[in-house]
Amino acid sequence: MIILEWLRFIIGGGLLLAGLATFIIELVGVFRFRYVLNRMHAAAIGDTLGIGFALSGLIVMSGLNFTSLKLFLVIVFLWFSSPVSSHLVARLEITTNEDEEKHYQEMNLDTPEEELEAEKKDDSI
């Protein structure tokens, strides 16, 4: 029985450490990127994955009980709400950004590849 407790502790601790590592990578991404959509992407992925790992570790550590069910429901709620809120923030940024040429360009799929290559060469000069 004591081996099972230690196994649960090790697996739960590993999941918590994976969540912590994900949060650290998210933090670096948020401060490192310059454009708001890149920052938002790093934050959204880090939140979803990091919270999933951390709360899964807590579920494993607490065992099967009512608290685990609540933690699982928190994971499900965050997995549904975080991408939706990130999408809305991205859409707001795209519609209200005045310097869109600075950050991205629209590509017409009918444009031949030679013109795209010429534009890339012109931009690098």
C-beta separation of 40 from 90 below 8 A: yes
User: What is the arithmetic mean of pLDDT over 79-104?
Assistant: 78
Residue 36 has pLDDT above 90, yes or no: no
Residue 105 has pLDDT above 80, yes or no: no
Dihedral through CA 111, CA 122, CA 93, CA 85, nearest 10? 70
- Higher-pLDDT residue of 83 and 105 is 83
Model pTM score: 0.70
For 23-33, write each residue's pLDDT tens digit: 999 999 888 88
Enumerate residues 6+ apart whose C-beta is below 8 A from 15. 53, 54, 56, 57, 60
Residue 59 has pLDDT above 90, yes or no: yes
- Higher-pLDDT residue of 121 and 87 is 87
1: helix, strand or coil:
coil
Token pair of 62, please?
A: 């607490």
